[in-house]
């Protein structure tokens, strides 16, 4: 108990220390901001614009990565079943289109002639079209067949109406360098829907964004989103996007001159000072509250020693350390004799005084490394690390004698009380702390059954301790209650 009070006194400064540290950190941060805010603004703005353009680039890249995943599925389907029927195609395509609103239609075109499409629309004129005969797309189709690479074109006008961005992949069957051209897998993206999905990611941004398809041999540059002037701005962050068979570029620039008007310095410092004080105070009270909660969770409120749960946790740590380092570990269980009669005769307040007095007495005679806990009622557990069964027995015998001589002073006549002890030492055949506790508990039961006010050793350790005692010429009754 005294050691517990000393520990509390030593830890009392911790909330103050945490509060002071939080306040010091905040004061340092405020000083840094005060000194560097103006110089850092341009850098922050550039970083913000760069992060925004990177976000847009990553969104577009991820969008087309999903598209390529769908293409892989279609290519795998064709290679597995070159002569697939509409039912299989529709089943697979339905799964690919699900939760992808930008996909307007999926097509398979054996020999570059559209045969399978999903979904179908009333009056759809796409079925039977020869892709090489489509205006504005012939060169791209022939280039894809020649190079064997996926291409993306658009926005283009569709024969069935509307505008779209089209991604096509040539498919070859018969694996190897001499693979045979089978046809195309095509995914048609609804151009307005693609724009809407991109714009959705920009809805909360003050940055102006533009996306452009760079010019190539197939045609001039085409704006997908935003204004061409964004690319010419000296403040723009420009990033290239890897789109299959095309070159897309993203540009981002501050749409307006958004200036951070720094408050007056003294007002800023005043607000910062109040923030430092409040945060330091909050850290102080939060740390104190957590320490109280931890103490309440691990300390018995009556006696000030550990609770059973905290004791078992600490015992697990000590047991692992003992096993790892080959060190002895002893366990002592103390049960106060005839404690119920104290409560019945003098009342529960007197019983509480006895428990407090005995726990103080025992704790004062233990080492700093020893651990004492109230296991329940009038039963206490004492863990003695780095201690053999013989040494634990000596500790228990001394405690037994000291308790027998102790008088608990109350308003009533002084109460004399005794205790029974069970001692066990960790052995290799014990599975864990529960087994060690059972051994000590069995020894305690033996002490209670054979007269109380005595110390008994677990039967797992008793024979070895008796042999050691005989080897050094000890009296036969030195190992009290050993079985």
Q: Is the peptide bond before 48 cis (omega within 30 degrees of 0)?
A: no
- The answer for residues whose C-beta is within 8 angstroms of residue 138's C-beta and 6 or more apart is 132
pTM for this predicted structure: 0.45
Q: 419: which strand partners? A: 336
Helix boundaries (H) for 115-235:
138-147, 191-200, 229-232
pLDDT tens digits for the chain (483 residues)? 445 555 555 567 777 787 788 888 888 777 777 776 666 666 767 787 888 888 888 888 888 888 888 888 888 888 888 888 888 888 888 888 887 888 888 888 888 888 888 888 776 777 888 887 777 677 777 877 877 888 888 788 776 678 888 888 888 887 544 578 888 888 888 888 888 888 887 755 678 888 888 866 556 788 888 888 888 887 788 888 888 878 888 888 876 544 344 556 667 777 878 888 888 888 878 877 776 777 667 888 888 899 998 999 999 999 999 999 999 999 999 999 999 988 888 888 888 999 999 999 999 999 989 999 999 999 999 999 999 989 999 999 999 999 988 877 654 567 788 999 999 999 988 888 999 999 999 999 999 999 899 999 987 665 545 444 434 433 334 444 433
d(CA 131, CA 109): 8
**Residue 162 CB burial class (10 angstroms; 0-12, 13-18, ≥19):** middle
d(CA 18, CA 199): 46
Could you give the domains of the chain?
1-295 (3.30.450.350), 299-471 (3.30.70.270)
User: DSSP assignment of 362-430, as one string?
Assistant: HHHTS-TT-EEEEEETTEEEEEEET--HHHHHHHHHHHHHHHHH-EE--SSSPEE--EEEEEEE--TT-
d(CA 466, CA 483): 9
d(CA 438, CA 420): 16
Kind of pairing between the strands at 180-190 and 163-173: antiparallel
């Amino acid at each position: 108990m005294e050691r517990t009070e000393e520990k509390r006194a030593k830890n009392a400064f911790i909330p103050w220390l945490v509060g002071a540290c939080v306040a010091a950190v905040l004061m340092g941060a405020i000083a840094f901001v005060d000194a560097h805010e103006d110089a850092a603004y341009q850098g922050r703005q550039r970083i913000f614009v760069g992060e925004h353009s990177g976000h847009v680039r990553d969104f577009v890249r991820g969008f087309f990565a999903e598209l390529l995943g769908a293409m892989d599925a279609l290519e795998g389907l064709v290679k597995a079943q070159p002569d697939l029927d509409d039912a299989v195609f529709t089943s697979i395509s339905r799964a690919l289109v699900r939760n992808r609103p930008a996909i307007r239609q999926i097509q398979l075109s054996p020999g570059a002639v559209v045969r399978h499409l999903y979904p179908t629309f009333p009056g759809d004129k796409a079925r039977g079209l020869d892709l090489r005969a489509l205006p504005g797309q012939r060169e791209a189709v022939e280039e894809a067949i020649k190079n064997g690479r996926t291409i993306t074109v658009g926005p283009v006008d569709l024969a069935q109406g509307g505008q779209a961005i089209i991604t096509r992949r040539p498919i070859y069957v018969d694996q190897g360098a001499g693979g045979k051209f089978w046809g195309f897998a095509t995914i048609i993206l609804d151009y307005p829907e693609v724009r809407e999905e991109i714009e959705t990611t920009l809805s909360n941004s003050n940055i102006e964004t533009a996306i452009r398809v760079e010019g190539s041999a197939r045609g001039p540059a085409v704006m997908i989103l935003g204004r061409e002037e964004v690319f010419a701005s000296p403040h723009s962050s420009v990033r290239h996007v890897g789109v299959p068979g095309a070159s897309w570029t993203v540009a981002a620039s501050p749409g307006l001159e958004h200036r951070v008007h720094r408050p007056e310095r003294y007002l800023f410092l005043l607000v910062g000072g109040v923030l430092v004080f409040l945060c330091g105070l909050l850290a102080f009270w939060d740390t104190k509250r957590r320490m109280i909660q931890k103490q309440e969770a691990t300390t018995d409120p009556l006696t000030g020693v550990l609770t059973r749960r905290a004791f078992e946790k600490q015992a697990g740590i000590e047991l692992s350390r003992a096993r790892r380092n080959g060190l002895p570990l002893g366990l002592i269980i103390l049960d106060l004799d005839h404690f119920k009669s104290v409560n019945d005769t003098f009342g529960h307040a007197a019983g509480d005084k006895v428990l407090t007095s005995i726990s103080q007495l025992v704790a004062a005679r233990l080492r700093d490394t020893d651990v004492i806990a109230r296991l329940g009622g009038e039963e206490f557990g004492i863990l003695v690390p780095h201690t053999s069964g013989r040494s634990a027995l000596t500790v228990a015998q001394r405690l037994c004698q000291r308790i027998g001589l102790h008088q608990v002073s109350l308003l009533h006549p002084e109460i004399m009380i005794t205790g029974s002890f069970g001692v066990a030492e960790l052995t290799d055949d014990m599975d864990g702390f529960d087994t060690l506790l059972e051994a000590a508990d069995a020894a305690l039961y033996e002490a209670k059954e054979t007269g109380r006010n005595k110390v008994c050793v677990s039967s797992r350790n008793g024979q070895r301790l008796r042999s050691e005692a005989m080897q050094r010429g000890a009296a036969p009754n030195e190992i009290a209650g050993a079985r």
